[in-house]
Structure 1
Amino acid sequence: MGVGFYLFYFGTIIPLFGSYMKNPSTIYANKSIQTLATQKAEEQFPIWKLLVFSLIGFITIMTETMPVGLLLQISHDLQISKLWAGQLVSFYALGSVCAAIPVIALTKHWDRRRLLLFTLGSLCVFNGLAAVSTHYIFTLFVRFCAGMAAGVIWGVFVSYVRYLVAPHLQGRALAVAGIGQPLALCFGVPLGTFLGTLFDWRSVFWLMSILALVLVIWVRLFIPCFIVNATQQKLAFGLTLKMKGVRLILLILLIWVLAHNILYTYISLYLIAVGLGEHIDAMLLIFGLAAIVGIFVTGHFIDQYLRHLTLLSLVIFAFSALCFGIFMNSLWMVCVAVIAWGISFGGAPILLQTALADIAQAQTDAAQSMLVTIFNIAVAGGGIVGGLFFARWGIQSFAWSALILSFIALILVYRAKDHGFGVGHRA
C-alpha cells in the first residue's frame, strides 16, 4: 500500500455508499456503470476540484486540533482550568463519532453536494460561535456540533473524490485530495499556536470560519452534484467483528491512539513545565516533521516488514514516553523524545489500517468504518483520561500512562503473529 493512499488515511471515515455512485446530471438510473466510467476516462484529471477537498481536509483537521496549542489562552479567557480547556478537543472528536454514520444514513436521499455545503456551512457557523462565546459550556456545545459536521464530511469525502474521476485515476485522486489531512496534523497545531500568539485564540477560530465560508462558495460554484443510489447493501458489521483478529487490532488501535492523545492533547502543559513554554510551536513543528519521516519510512517498507515496523514503532514510542518521564530536567532529551514520538506515531495509522484490511478482506469497508470510529473515540478519550490523570497525579502522569499503554500494545502486537501482524512479505 503506497504512501499516497496513507496520506489520505488520517481522520477519514470510509464511505457507506461509495460503491453505488452515479452522476444525476448526466445519466439516468438505468445507465450502466461501464458507460459512466468510459465518459469519465475521457475527462481531464480535475486537479482544482481535488484541491478543494484537500483544503476541506486541512480545515476540518485543523479545527479539531488547534485548541491543543491555545490551551493557555482559552483557559485564561474563559476562566477555566487547562484541564477543562483540553476537553474542547475531546468534544469535537465525540461529535464526529456520534454523527457520521447515523447522519449519512438519514440523508441517503440527499444530493451529496447539498450535504457537503450544509456541513461546511455548519463549520463556518460553529467556529464563529466559538470565537464569540464567553461561556465554557456553550463553547463545548458548539465544539461538539462542529465535530458532528466534521464527522459527516469524512463520511462523504472518499466517495465524492472517487466520483470525480475515472476508476483508474481514483488512487491518484485520493492522494491529491488527501494531502490536507497530514499537513493539518503536522502543521495545524503549530500554525494555530503561531496565529494565536500573533493575534489571539478567537482570531484563529474566526479565520477557520472565514475559510469554511470560502469553501462553501467554492464547492457551490465548481463541484458537481453527486447523488448516491438509495438502495444500499448493509455493511456486515457483526460478521466483521467476529473475524479472527479484527477485535484484537481494534483494541491495539484504541490503546495506541489513546496513549498518543494523552500526550498530544496536553503537550503544551508538559512543555511549559519543563521550561519550553516559549517554544511550543517549534516543538510541535519538530513533531510534525518527524511524523512525516515516519510516514514515508512506513510507506516504503510496510509491504515487506509490517510486523517488524509495528513492533519497532511501539518500541520507539515507549522510548519517547520514558524520556518524557525521566528527563524533564534535560531540554535536549525532551527534544529527542519529541522527535522519537513523531517518527514512531507518523506511520501508526497506516500500519493498523493495513493489518486490519489484510484480515477483513471483502469486509474492509465495514472494518475501516469501525477503525475510524475507534480512532475518534481514542482521540476523545485521550483528552478525558489525560485530564483525569493530570488532576490526580500531575504533569508526569502523561508520560508514565503513555509508557504503560505502549507496553500493553507492544505485547498484543507481539502475540498477534497470526492475526494481522504476520512475519514476512504481505500477500
Structure 2
Amino acid sequence: MRAATSSRTGMALVALSTACFISVTSENLPVALLPQLAAGLNASDAAIGLLMTGYAVVVAITVMPLVVLTARWDRRTTALVTVIAIALSNLLLALAPSYGVAVAARLVSAVGHGVFWSVVAPMAARLLGPERAGRATAVVFAGNSLALLFGLPLSSWLGSTLGWRPTVVVLAVVAALSAVAIRATVEPMPAEHATPGQGLSALRQVVTDRSLAAVNLTTVLVVLGHFTAYTYITAIIADYAHLTGSATAALLFAYGAAGLLGLVLIGRALDSHPQATGLFVAGGLAVCMLALLTLGPSSGLLSGAVVVLWAAPAGAIGVVLQAAVLRATATRQDLASSVYIVAFQIGIAAGAGLGGFFLAQDALPLAVATTAVCGLIALLVVRRSTAFAAPADRVSQARTARRTTA
C-alpha cells in the first residue's frame, strides 16, 4: 500500500513538473522563436520582445486578486483550469493572422499564469509533507528550470525545422496532455486556510512581512537582471559567439546540459545550504556577465563557453527563490507565492523591456552590464536576509535580533 501511494505521489509530482515545464516554455516562446515570429507576424524584434513584457504585466496585475478570488477552489481544479488555458492560448497563437491576435492569445494564458505558480509549489509540499517541502519544490520546479534550459533550444530547433506555427501547436498538445496527467494522478486537494482571513488583511500581512520582502526584492533584482539579457540571448549569441541558425540551437542545447548539471547540484544543497544556493544564483549571474563584458565579441569561442556557464545559476533561479518563499512562511503559502509571482513578473517585464530598449539602441553590452549590476546588488540582499538562512541559523539570528532590540 505504501509503495502504491509513494508511486502515485511520484507520478503526481512528475505531472506537476511537466505542467511547469509547459508553462515556462510557453511563457518564453518569444525568446525561442524571436526571428520566426517577427517575420511571420511582420513585426520588429523589439515588438516580439514586448509579447514577454505584456504577458508579465498582465500576470503582475491579475495574480493577487485572482488568488484571493480562487482561495476556496480545490487546488487540483485550479491547476487544471490554468494549464488548459495555456493549451488554448497556444492554439490561438498558432492560428494568429496578425500581431494583434498574437497579443490577445498571449493574454489568455497570462491571466491564469500567476494563479498556477501560486498554487503549484504549495501543492507539491502537501504531497510530500512540510518536512520535505524543499525537496518537493525542487522536484516540481525542475520543470521550470528544464524549460529555461531545454524548452528554449527545443522550441528554437523545432521553429527552424518545422516552422513556428507547427511548433506552437505541438506545445498546445503537450499542455493538454499534461492537464490529463494532473487529473489522473493528483487527488482532489481542498484549499487550506480558505477563510475570511484569506482576504485583504491576510494579503497585507504577507506583503509587509520582512522576510518575504527580502525574498521579493531579491527576486526583482535577479529576474530583472537575468531577463534583460536572456530575452535577447539569441542576439547575444550572434554578437558575442558569432553563431546563428542551427548553430544557435546547438549552443542553446549545451546551455541546457550545463544548466541541468547545475540544477542537480543546487537541488541537493537547497535544504541544507539555502544561503549558499542564493549566493550562487546571484553571484553566478554577475560573474558570467562580467566575463562576457571582459571577453567581448573578439573572443567568440570563450564567449560561447560563458553563455553555456550562465545556465548554471540561471536554471536554479525559480527553485531557489520559491523555496525561500516557502521557508519564510508556514501559512498562507498561496498568498505569499502570489506576491512572489508579482515580483517575478515585474522583473521579467522590466528586464524584457529594458533589454529591448538597449537592443533598439544597438547597445547590447548595456543589457549585459545591467545583469551584472543586478546580480551584485542581489548578493548583498541574500547575504543579509534570514529567509536564505538555514533553519538553525534563522533561530540564532532571530535571538540576536531580539537581544539587540531589548
Quickly name the TM-score band, shorter chain normalised. 0.7 to 0.9
Q: Is contact 2:118–2:334 with CA below 8 Å preserved after alignment? A: no
1:380 lines up with 2:346 in the alignment: no
Residues 245/398 of structure 1: CA separation in 2 closer, same or farther (3 Å cut): same
Residues 322/220 of structure 1: CA separation in 2 closer, same or farther (3 Å cut): closer
The residue number in structure 2 matching 1:9 is: none
SS across alignment from 2:115: helix
Bigger Cα displacement from structure 2, 235-244 vs 280-289: 235-244
Correspondent of 2:244 among 277, 288, 292: 277
TM-score relative to the length of structure 1: 0.77
Residues 109/299 of structure 1: CA separation in 2 closer, same or farther (3 Å cut): closer
The residue number in structure 1 matching 2:254 is: 286
- Cα distance in 1 for residues equivalent to 2:380 and 2:117: 32
SS across alignment from 1:277: coil
For residues 354-409 of structure 1, what are the alpha-carbon distances to aligned partners after superposition, in whole Å with 9 as ceiling and x for unaligned? 55566556676654432232112212221111112222343222212222323333
1:253 lines up with 2:219 in the alignment: yes
Residues 401/147 of structure 1: CA separation in 2 closer, same or farther (3 Å cut): same
For residues 119-152 of structure 1, what are the alpha-carbon distances to aligned partners after superposition, in whole Å with 9 as ceiling and x for unaligned? 3332222211101112112211211221223323
Correspondent of 2:89 among 113, 121, 126: 126
- Cα distance in 1 for residues equivalent to 2:91 and 2:187: 27
The residue number in structure 2 matching 1:90 is: 53
Correspondent of 1:203 among 154, 162, 166: 166
The residue number in structure 2 matching 1:19 is: none
Q: Is contact 2:119–2:337 with CA below 8 Å preserved after alignment? A: no
The residue number in structure 2 matching 1:341 is: 310
Residues 164/41 of structure 1: CA separation in 2 closer, same or farther (3 Å cut): farther
Residues 50/351 of structure 1: CA separation in 2 closer, same or farther (3 Å cut): closer
- Cα distance in 2 for residues equivalent to 1:334 and 1:163: 43
- Name the aligned partner's letter for residue 51 of structure 2: L
- Cα distance in 2 for residues equivalent to 1:176 and 1:313: 18
- Cα distance in 2 for residues equivalent to 1:311 and 1:176: 21
- Cα distance in 2 for residues equivalent to 1:250 and 1:104: 17
For residues 250-274 of structure 1, what are the alpha-carbon distances to aligned partners after superposition, in whole Å with 9 as ceiling and x for unaligned? 2232112111111110011122233
- Cα distance in 2 for residues equivalent to 1:62 and 1:94: 18
Q: Is contact 2:149–2:315 with CA below 8 Å preserved after alignment? A: no
- Cα distance in 2 for residues equivalent to 1:172 and 1:401: 32
SS across alignment from 2:97: coil
- Cα distance in 1 for residues equivalent to 2:113 and 2:59: 6
The residue number in structure 2 matching 1:185 is: 148
- Cα distance in 2 for residues equivalent to 1:129 and 1:184: 21
Kindly report the root-mean-square deviation, in angstroms, between the aligned alpha carbons of the 2 structures: 3.5
- Cα distance in 2 for residues equivalent to 1:271 and 1:172: 34
Q: Is contact 1:316–1:344 with CA below 8 Å preserved after alignment? A: yes
SS across alignment from 1:276: coil
User: How far did residue 57 of structure 1 move?
Assistant: 1.9
- Cα distance in 1 for residues equivalent to 2:177 and 2:331: 39
- Cα distance in 1 for residues equivalent to 2:274 and 2:82: 37
Residues 357/71 of structure 1: CA separation in 2 closer, same or farther (3 Å cut): same
Residues 242/135 of structure 1: CA separation in 2 closer, same or farther (3 Å cut): same
Residues 309/119 of structure 1: CA separation in 2 closer, same or farther (3 Å cut): closer
For residues 45-71 of structure 1, what are the alpha-carbon distances to aligned partners after superposition, in whole Å with 9 as ceiling and x for unaligned? 314444332322221121112321210
User: How far did residue 72 of structure 1 move?
Assistant: 0.5
SS across alignment from 1:233: helix
- Cα distance in 1 for residues equivalent to 2:326 and 2:84: 34
For residues 315-352 of structure 1, what are the alpha-carbon distances to aligned partners after superposition, in whole Å with 9 as ceiling and x for unaligned? 43223212323421211221232133222333444544
SS across alignment from 1:99: helix
Residues 403/393 of structure 1: CA separation in 2 closer, same or farther (3 Å cut): farther
Q: Is contact 2:38–2:48 with CA below 8 Å preserved after alignment? A: yes
Residues 156/199 of structure 1: CA separation in 2 closer, same or farther (3 Å cut): same
- In structure 2, the gaps of 5 or more residues are 395-406
1:213 lines up with 2:182 in the alignment: no
- Cα distance in 1 for residues equivalent to 2:139 and 2:190: 23
SS across alignment from 2:83: helix
- In structure 1, the gaps of 5 or more residues are 1-38
Q: Percent identity?
A: 26
Residues 98/169 of structure 1: CA separation in 2 closer, same or farther (3 Å cut): same
Residues 214/155 of structure 1: CA separation in 2 closer, same or farther (3 Å cut): same
- Cα distance in 1 for residues equivalent to 2:172 and 2:110: 14
Q: Is contact 2:258–2:308 with CA below 8 Å preserved after alignment? A: yes
Q: Is contact 1:68–1:265 with CA below 8 Å preserved after alignment? A: yes
1:153 lines up with 2:116 in the alignment: yes
- 1:17-416 correspondence runs (5 A): 43=5, 45-46=7-8, 47-161=10-124, 177-219=140-182, 224-228=187-191, 230-231=194-195, 233-234=197-198, 236-244=202-210, 246-274=212-240, 275-278=242-245, 279-301=247-269, 306-307=274-275, 310-311=278-279, 313-326=281-294, 327-353=296-322, 366-413=335-382, 416=384
- Cα distance in 2 for residues equivalent to 1:139 and 1:105: 29
Larger fraction in helix: 2
Residues 389/220 of structure 1: CA separation in 2 closer, same or farther (3 Å cut): same
Residues 160/318 of structure 1: CA separation in 2 closer, same or farther (3 Å cut): closer
